[in-house]
Structure 1
């Protein structure tokens, strides 16, 4: 395993497969500025800034180091909070603009969460300056969406984020990590010499092609597959389970593709939430907005579509979306044979799927005609960031001559698996789009069809009432009624019209 830690080249092949980046920094390198808060990727105190070459450009992302295996960072530039002022000009004692702005705006009290917040803001600053993108309130709030602060309050932190550019101008701070030729050249050399492959440690494999992945899975039948690991690593940090061999699928080229061939949209299983979010922003704004409700920026930078689906959690947020579009799932066996199953058949029970032990998910395919149909996604949760759905609803209406020709009501957070309300759907098929009697019948059928669970997030009655109201909301939007809701992005007319539900704050389950 080779990676660049701040300004030092690390070459270490002695670590277990599940040794986290947080433990490595604190225990092996003495970099204790990175804090452990929750050990579950929820608080952001352990945030790291991680740089990677993309088409010759160096781009930085934030990760939760408490649930990131350090070996997954092979070939990357890992930045801890200690490095920011050193890089910016140790001789002059200058702080990074993110640090200086936090000082000037009194953005810290106890300081425990501050290193993570600073790195989140520093990542925003580095990427915005290298791409000439303005830093606005929405981008600042997005950057710190996974950083909890229990004592300072977010107003001075947001003000610090908005003032970083002015701070840099006043202090004449001109160094950018993302433009540093030395860092770029070192990462290029690591890539050429196999820094991404982590071949030196026999318990951690990071293949870059599907053929290599299948070979590794064949040779290590009992190995655990890991993509983002944002849920899997909780077995290690919360339940103290030690993994043996891990096969990292996050760099497999065939699993990273997003392809639109004019008829279908194909999404690779290792496409991250952030990558799908970026792709969807102008093409599919409703998908873009619901993705902003999934966890935090740190989690979305690592969590994957395939992980969210294969994890088979009943409160996962992407399965209802895929159910609404009748997505096909391409599975591949270790011998190279492939088969296609529809997501409607994929879930067999709580944490049970059709996925065989010698199979993995390669991709998801959605018919573009279905993506062109009217669709909405609603997530109800107590917080905006880092929260699990009480109710998730994905809706699709297909129309023909002002009549509803097809309907999908797909729910998450309601049962042991993601489910469709088939009887309620059928109540609306063939009816006029403005037939209120048909809507009433659909809601009555929904109440008879669903028996939601009760847990600490919501009672069965609350979930059922909310599900009925969300169906009515979708029907009203289908009929052209403008319903003001808050999606999690900045309050603008374009966003307010996109249809999202909230009770409190934003978030989702990880995968």
Structure 2
């Protein structure tokens, strides 16, 4: 057991004697006084607190942007941290130079976070196109400069071939390998390395917080000053970090990040890839995990409706063994699931697309990027000889849990997916659900939107052009 969090800070090994549930943002600003990293929203939305995290991936060190306001110090144990102060090594980083030359900053409050996001892009995708640049900036808010000069600066750097991050080599990480336990100030942070270690800890400490990427739990840590006195972190569990692919299925360990999921599903399910890009910025996708998104059991979580419509299966593990169930059966009631106190989510498996399958998922929200769903609808149908042979439809935001619309599915089976079939399906949806009203939308609005999505799906599959906007 150690009292020190060990990591590289701007290229140098650093040991921090700090409660492991202290946010990285608070520590950076208050201890080493690296105040270039700013606090804006304290929720992981504005990007002012963005920095880069480096980890070993094979024979290289890879860096990605993350929100330090919702990141706990325990989560950077064994990793490399780069702040805006650390980008400059003798001379300005190319992104810093391009931003300065192009007049890409006014008040400057958001600029360090933008620089860090674009530095991560320039290192990981030196041939980035405009779409990739805009995606990298989706989690960074700028209210006074406007994005045109910022995008132009990014274009200049990628046109020159990108820019690497100066930092420690792979071999150097052996000096700061993640520790099995951190303890300071009454907070204990466990970091099991294997599934067996994790299950033993879970059995012994069923009340401990299970921490994936912390993109949901971290909001309470930052915003409401919640203490985490006992945490079991999942990021180092080998089995939970695996991605397995067979001829028929893709299986993701529960600690696989959404960025990693995105890379694997894009070719198979482009509509799911679009959804993933929308419900989290690069900073969120690089930390948030597929298991965490399911485990929070939010009725408006964006992942579950799509996964349910695809027929996903979830694996739950404990010292007593493993059990498998359909994801739709995992959710019992509002924030209640099948997960037992001694269990963890081990993996999520989805079938690959089959011939004749059409899949679409639609998220309706007040803004396109970085927003909570009002309604999320996912549709998967198999057609043969022009007729629907089977259908799966799932919604978020329409009930206390993500849920299938069985009656609506039955209304499509045996039809040619024409207008009349869509109307019958929409009527079944309206009869099936009784959503609540809140600030995102009234019950009547949600019912109308859900019904309209059936027609949108019909037109989309038919190849008609549909005007798309965030509502």
With normalisation by structure 2, the TM-score equals 0.94
**1:68-79 → structure 2 map (5 Å cutoff):** 68-79=71-82
Q: 1:76 to 1:450 in 2, by over 3 A?
A: same
Cα distance in 1 between the residues matched to 2:340 and 2:391: 31
Q: Report the counterpart of residue 319 of structure 1 in structure 2.
A: 304
Match of 1:442 among 425, 439, 449: 425
**1:146-161 → structure 2 map (5 Å cutoff):** 146-161=139-154
SS of 2:181's partner is coil
Cα distance in 1 between the residues matched to 2:265 and 2:120: 22
Cα distance in 2 between the residues matched to 1:440 and 1:219: 53
Q: Report the counterpart of residue 12 of structure 2 in structure 1.
A: 8
Cα distance in 2 between the residues matched to 1:303 and 1:163: 30
Contact 1:3/1:11, CA 8 A, preserved across alignment: yes
Contact 1:294/1:317, CA 8 A, preserved across alignment: yes
Match of 2:441 among 452, 458, 482: 458
Cα distance in 1 between the residues matched to 2:324 and 2:46: 38
Deviations 1:444-465 (A, max 9, x none): 2222222222211122222222
Match of 2:331 among 321, 344, 347: 347
Deviations 1:17-66 (A, max 9, x none): 31111111111211111011111101110001111111111211000000
Cα distance in 2 between the residues matched to 1:371 and 1:347: 30
Cα distance in 2 between the residues matched to 1:184 and 1:267: 26
Match of 1:470 among 453, 456, 464: 453
Post-superposition shift, 1:484? 4.2
Match of 2:469 among 488, 498, 502: 502
Question: Is it true that 1:246 corresponds to 2:231 in the alignment?
Answer: yes
Cα distance in 1 between the residues matched to 2:355 and 2:283: 28
Match of 2:136 among 135, 139, 143: 143
Q: Report the counterpart of residue 391 of structure 2 in structure 1.
A: 407
Q: Report the counterpart of residue 481 of structure 1 in structure 2.
A: 463
Post-superposition shift, 1:117? 0.4
Match of 1:32 among 31, 35, 43: 35
**1:278-427 → structure 2 map (5 Å cutoff):** 278-333=263-318, 335-368=319-352, 373-427=357-411
Cα distance in 2 between the residues matched to 1:56 and 1:189: 16
Query: Which of the two has greater strand per residue?
Result: 2
Contact 1:379/1:392, CA 8 A, preserved across alignment: yes
Contact 2:20/2:182, CA 8 A, preserved across alignment: no
Post-superposition shift, 1:438? 2.5
Q: Report the counterpart of residue 489 of structure 1 in structure 2.
A: none
Contact 1:2/1:198, CA 8 A, preserved across alignment: no
Question: Is it true that 1:47 corresponds to 2:50 in the alignment?
Answer: yes
Cα distance in 2 between the residues matched to 1:369 and 1:283: 7
Contact 2:253/2:346, CA 8 A, preserved across alignment: yes
**1:103-182 → structure 2 map (5 Å cutoff):** 103-128=100-125, 133-165=126-158, 176-177=164-165, 182=168
Q: Report the counterpart of residue 201 of structure 2 in structure 1.
A: 216
Contact 1:45/1:116, CA 8 A, preserved across alignment: yes
SS of 2:7's partner is strand
Post-superposition shift, 1:118? 0.6
Cα distance in 1 between the residues matched to 2:322 and 2:222: 35
Deviations 1:266-322 (A, max 9, x none): 121111110011112223322222211112110000111111111010110011011
SS of 2:395's partner is strand
Cα distance in 1 between the residues matched to 2:157 and 2:180: 37
Q: RMSD of the TM alignment (CA)?
A: 2.0
Post-superposition shift, 1:212? 1.6
Point out where structure 2 has 5 or more consecutive residues left out of the alignment: none
Q: 1:371 to 1:394 in 2, by over 3 A?
A: farther
Cα distance in 2 between the residues matched to 1:146 and 1:403: 42
Match of 2:172 among 186, 189, 201: 186
With normalisation by structure 1, the TM-score equals 0.86
Q: Report the counterpart of residue 495 of structure 1 in structure 2.
A: none
* Number of residue pairs the alignment of both structures matches: 464
